[in-house]
Structure 1
Amino acid sequence: MISTRIRIALGLVLVLVFTASGIAPSFAAAIGSQLVNRELRSEKFAGNRIGTNPVRKMAVYLPAGYDESSKRYPVIYFLASPFDSYRTLFDQRNAQRLFDRAIEGRVIAPFILVSVDMTTPLGCSWYVNSPVTGNWEDFMIQELVPYIDANFKALPSRDSRGIVGHFMGGYGAIRFGMRHPDVFGSVYALHPVGTGSGVQIMDSRPNWDLLTDATSLDDVRKDGFSTIFTAIFQAHLPNPDKPPLFVDLPAHKVGDQLVIDSKLTERLRNNFLLETMIAQYADNLKSLRGFKFDWARNDTIEDHIYSNQAFTHKLNEFGIVHEAEEYNGTWGEPNWGEDGRVYTEVLPFFGRHLVFGDK
């Protein structure tokens, strides 16, 4: 019987032979990457009115050879849809292996990816500062990015820093790119929402009787659209002195008639919809190294298709260079796997636009 020591030695020899000959680089890479869990206690959520936890969790992907290398790496920040966990891409989508394969196949050079929990107790934070939900923009720009730069081998430059998001996370990616091109030099949004007006008006979506009569946040959770729009109002029409929802409602019902508050609606549109911000941040968007978004042609909510089509046209009106693609599929369906858009579109996009230093 071969001793354990001899078996280990033989195994190491085989690995070295295969790696040197190029026979099994995927095996070497697969065992080399890491997924690191971290927590960051934020100072930016003090005083929030809905119980936002100041301890934010994140998962950090580190490429094979990270510990042994003296190199620094570009960082991609990932904003998950709040319908998923910040860990869903790793726990259910096999993203770690997908990233390994992309690096092995030279789809993209080695990179770090950070997926962080950006949700409130009601769902999406909408990535803005709010006295009700907390200061999410400040958390990202003033705390999270500096933390990653200080604690990992990150290239601390906007040219080597990208941001990508899915659905509501896609909204956040574009918004951060608009307002902070000095921090994020490249932006990709997978099927973003909130880019502009839809086919239906926003106020047609919530259950206004439910919102008016709510005695707690749990009441609005009974209806999906009411939950989503209460989170939007908490971000963009916050009122910390109006419990239990802590918002100024932009509409109410009188009998069967929906009465819309024009001033609050104007304030909501100007603060929330990305297309209303294009003129103000046009120069910022023009300074990006890369900007792309996509959407599914067969999304069952037609508003998302309409608003993204209009968004790309308005960007063109302001001369903002970008890529926009309407693909044949449904929302969320084609993103993961080696045939998915993350592998075929997102990673090659960042491979072209990020600065990798010494490759």
Structure 2
Amino acid sequence: MSRESDTRPNVVFEVVESSLLKGNPLGDPATRHVPVYLPPSYRESETTRYPVIYLLAGFASTGMSFLNFSFGRPTLPEMLDSMIRKGEMPEAIVVMPECMTRYGGSQYVDSAATGPYESHLTGELIPHIDRQFRTLAAARHRAIVGKSSGGFGALRLGMNHPELFAAVGCHSGDMDFELCYRPNFPVAARILEKYDSNVATFFTRWESLDKKPRGEFALLDLMAMAACYSPDASMPPPGNMRLPFEPRTCQLVPEVWEQWKRFDPLTMLEEAQCQEALGSLRVLYLDCGSQDEYNLQFGHRRFSARATELCIAHRYEEFPDTHADTSYRYRVSLPLLAEAIAG
């Protein structure tokens, strides 16, 4: 093996056979290939055990996306390796879950329209990783972090599963649904008109195209969110969800919108069990670009202010950037999380 190969980040691909995802409504694979970053000393020691960080990808991305080459910018494993070798963060195993769906993402929730992805991650993937790798298999040595839909997933899973995680990082995570989702309703409704207001017709065509129309992404995104937040198991895919607005008038459908808002981290923050979960964390870190196109900075400011009122220790930062291409912010969160869960 060449010297160059020896110094590359050690990433292995773990094959996870999921019984929970078998027979899911969209026919997505139950076998998932999960990238796992192993720290530099993992090869050298056969006894050392390591804390674990679960790193969640955003919408339309998956675990493999963290390995993508981009000119002038390190991959996530390269960033990790560099920080660890320079002593900027403790060693940790970093798992990049594969929770993609035919609709572009799962939001890491259990849904009758897509499948039980929250249960898969918490009940199957975490035990699998603890069996297959030398982990410090306890909640105090486990963290979860992500950006955008991944940040939403990390924050929500941290609130729902304090028995599994001791630290949470949320980068530009979906929240304040009134501001981050509702402005796109008219945009999606205008696109939907081209398909006789039929979501299934739209998606069947979209899926058939080799080159996806960029101008229709807003409808795809909203359709995927509806599949996660307001599934309709009585309908076959790809129309097995209820939209939160009437396509022709774009008027809100109150009962569906209420279903959506139950997933909003700002709504969840008012629940006593979620407050207790966040209060038990060793680290709660949030950040957002001050020019975020999805208005997420406003939701994050509200979340931070309310957490402060509730005496929930956390760190919130804003930085001068938009929503896209902000993976460099992991240089801030990952060392904080790794320090919090280090052995």
- TM over 0.5, yes or no? yes
| Segment drifting more, 212-221 vs 225-234 | 212-221
Change beyond 3 A, Cα 1:29–1:46: closer
The answer for the alignment partner of 1:114 in structure 2 is 95
Q: Give the gaps of 5 or more residues in structure 2.
A: 208-212
| Segment drifting more, 313-322 vs 200-209 | 200-209
The answer for the alignment partner of 2:210 in structure 1 is none
C-alpha contact (below 8 Å) 2:51/2:93 kept by paired residues: yes
Change beyond 3 A, Cα 1:329–1:258: closer
Q: Given residue 169 of structure 1, which amino acid in structure 2 is its aligned partner?
A: G
Q: Given residue 218 of structure 1, which amino acid in structure 2 is its aligned partner?
A: T
Q: Aligned equivalents of 1:213 and 1:94: distance in 2? A: 39
CA displacement 1:83-124 (0-9 Å, x = unmatched): 334223223242222212211111112111111211111112
TM-score (norm: length of structure 1): 0.83
TM-score (norm: length of structure 2): 0.86
The answer for the alignment partner of 1:250 in structure 2 is 244
The DSSP-based 3-state class of the residue aligned with 1:76 is: strand
The answer for the alignment partner of 2:198 in structure 1 is 213
Q: CA deviation at 1:347?
A: 2.4
Q: CA deviation at 1:200?
A: 7.1
User: How many equivalent pairs are there?
Assistant: 323
Q: CA deviation at 1:31?
A: 2.5
1:319-358 alignment, distance < 5 Å: 319-335=311-327, 340-343=328-331, 345-354=332-341, 356-357=342-343
Does structure 1 residue 204 correspond to structure 2 residue 186? yes
C-alpha contact (below 8 Å) 2:52/2:95 kept by paired residues: yes
The DSSP-based 3-state class of the residue aligned with 2:232 is: coil
C-alpha contact (below 8 Å) 1:191/1:295 kept by paired residues: yes
Q: CA deviation at 1:248?
A: 2.0
Q: Given residue 308 of structure 1, which amino acid in structure 2 is its aligned partner?
A: H
Q: Given residue 330 of structure 2, which amino acid in structure 1 is its aligned partner?
A: V
Q: Given residue 331 of structure 1, which amino acid in structure 2 is its aligned partner?
A: H
C-alpha contact (below 8 Å) 2:176/2:265 kept by paired residues: yes
Q: Aligned equivalents of 1:332 and 1:187: distance in 2? A: 21
Q: CA deviation at 1:153?
A: 0.4
Q: CA deviation at 1:55?
A: 1.2
The answer for the alignment partner of 1:288 in structure 2 is 281
Q: Aligned equivalents of 2:287 and 2:30: distance in 1? A: 32
Q: Aligned equivalents of 1:250 and 1:40: distance in 2? A: 34
Q: Given residue 41 of structure 1, which amino acid in structure 2 is its aligned partner?
A: E
The answer for the alignment partner of 2:11 in structure 1 is 35
Find the partner of 1:142 among 109, 123, 131.
123
Find the partner of 1:74 among 51, 73, 91.
51
1:16-165 alignment, distance < 5 Å: 31=7, 33-69=9-45, 70-92=47-69, 93-165=74-146
Change beyond 3 A, Cα 1:196–1:241: closer
Q: Given residue 44 of structure 1, which amino acid in structure 2 is its aligned partner?
A: L
Q: Aligned equivalents of 2:138 and 2:180: distance in 1? A: 40
Q: Aligned equivalents of 1:82 and 1:318: distance in 2? A: 30
The DSSP-based 3-state class of the residue aligned with 2:53 is: strand
CA RMSD of aligned residues (A): 2.5
The DSSP-based 3-state class of the residue aligned with 1:35 is: strand
Q: Give the gaps of 5 or more residues in structure 1.
A: 1-7, 12-26
CA displacement 1:5-41 (0-9 Å, x = unmatched): xxx9xx9xxxxxxxxxxxxxxx899627511011211
C-alpha contact (below 8 Å) 1:212/1:252 kept by paired residues: no
C-alpha contact (below 8 Å) 2:59/2:107 kept by paired residues: no
C-alpha contact (below 8 Å) 1:30/1:100 kept by paired residues: no
Aligned residues with identical type, % of pairs: 26
Does structure 1 residue 265 correspond to structure 2 residue 257? yes
Q: Aligned equivalents of 2:161 and 2:35: distance in 1? A: 23
Find the partner of 1:170 among 142, 151, 166.
151
Q: Given residue 234 of structure 1, which amino acid in structure 2 is its aligned partner?
A: A
Does structure 1 residue 275 correspond to structure 2 residue 283? no
Change beyond 3 A, Cα 1:46–1:33: closer
Change beyond 3 A, Cα 1:242–1:28: closer
Q: Given residue 253 of structure 2, which amino acid in structure 1 is its aligned partner?
A: D
Change beyond 3 A, Cα 1:125–1:43: same
C-alpha contact (below 8 Å) 2:226/2:242 kept by paired residues: yes
The DSSP-based 3-state class of the residue aligned with 1:159 is: helix
The DSSP-based 3-state class of the residue aligned with 2:221 is: helix
Higher Cα Rg: structure 1 or 2? 1
